[in-house]
A and B are shown apart, each in its own frame.
Chain A
Amino acid sequence: MANRLPWWMGGILMSGLLLLTFSIYGADHSLGASTYVPYFAGIIFDLDPEKYTYLKEIKNSGSWEGVMLFGALFGGFITSVFITKTFRFSFVPTAWKTYKNNSVVSRLLWSFFAGFIMIIGARLAGGCTSGHFLSGMSQLAISALIFGGVVMITLVVTGHFFYNKKAK
């Protein structure tokens, strides 16, 4: 059994999963993966779901994605242990060491900061790579096309200025 899936097989399988999720014989739902974060924040910080407008708005999609997330953690863990053999504890990605620095503290601080603004960004836009790119663009939604264009440009511009593209 191959330890890596080629990109085209990954794309075909992901398309099959999206169609299953959208189908009335499946979940009749779009695939998303950022609403669960404020949903869990509400649980962990013990916010009253009846008191906050936003928690009321995301009650349904947040819980749907929450259950899906547990599945994704399970699927990712099993695959990493038995198929890709990549399970290990690590703090700094190899390419961060090559193109940024060797500091664990720097990586963790940047990770915390990026995670923080990532969720604010995704919730402002109403979706992320899954909700807007995969699900939204597959419906040819104008909202997804705008978000996709802005993200692609910002991603490449940030990559250009944030990293030292010549390997150390």
Chain B
Amino acid sequence: MADVIFVTEESNTLVDRVFQMVENVIGQEHGSVALVFLIGVIFGGIIQYSRVDKFEKIAGFSMLKDTIIPKMLFLAIGLTSIGLYFMIEAGGAHYHVKPIILQGLIIGGILFGISMAILGKCPGTGPISIAEGRMDVLIGAIGGLFGGLVFTLYYDDFFKPLMGESLGKTILPDFFVGNEELTVLIFGVALVLIAILIPKVELFDEADLSQLPDEKRPDRK
């Protein structure tokens, strides 16, 4: 009997906290719940539709056998950097710059790069792979939850000191005072050119393409 009550209380807490999550989003002025959900739907749709959540794309890039990831990433960043700068200048958006925490960025970047090559996913593409049935990535996500648990438990004593002090929220145009617009334009155009110039190499997955009719298979063109 006591067990039953325990289970009910537990699930209530879980449901309550998911409601709390939604209420937190309502309380912030960062878009309605519907809009934030929609941003997620589009994010998942684009990643799924362009297949960049695939192991063959991310681990394939780590072996330099597939270049779709850097091509798409650099194109998106190049275009956004120019558009965003002028949007901010016009008052249509704000900066949300992350601080330079040097040790955190370097140690974190190394751990992240190693794990991205092995898992063949990142925290954004992982859930989208799970949504299409990749069970190995679900195990990876459970590993991630334990990672999040350990990080939260030892944040004050270990991880926060390890990250080091913030050196400020500098952006590249700050080094070119008077030429900010030019800096952004050169950066954006350079990234778009890099995206176009990186040779297109693709690693295909037979299991992924076997459901498509022959004439629609990108590897048979």
Contacts and interface: CB of A to CB of B under 8 A. Distances in A.
Contacts of B116: 114, 118, 129, 151, 155
A4 B80 CA distance: 23
Contact of A129 (B25, B122, B136, B152): B122
Contacts, number: 531
Nearest to B18: A43
A14 B124 CA distance: 13
Given A25-B92, A68-B36, A121 B206 contact: no
Contact of A120 (B91, B120, B150, B171): B150
Contacts of B74: 11
Contacts of B212: 3, 85
A138 B62 contact: no
Contacts of A69: 40, 127
A131 B97 CA distance: 10
B193 interface: no
Interface of A is mostly: helix
B25 A64 contact: yes
Given A41-B145, A121-B114, 20 more contacts: A22-B96, A24-B93, A45-B149, A64-B28, A76-B128, A76-B129, A84-B48, A93-B134, A110-B119, A112-B142, A118-B119, A120-B150, A125-B107, A125-B112, A129-B125, A136-B98, A137-B81, A146-B102, A155-B62, A156-B64
The 10 closest A-B pairs by CB, nearest first: A71-B40, A159-B62, A154-B113, A121-B111, A125-B108, A75-B44, A115-B143, A150-B109, A11-B75, A10-B50
21 contacts: A23-B87, A28-B31, A29-B96, A31-B39, A42-B148, A64-B28, A67-B21, A71-B36, A87-B132, A94-B55, A107-B136, A108-B139, A114-B116, A120-B108, A126-B105, A139-B97, A140-B171, A140-B184, A142-B170, A147-B112, A151-B113
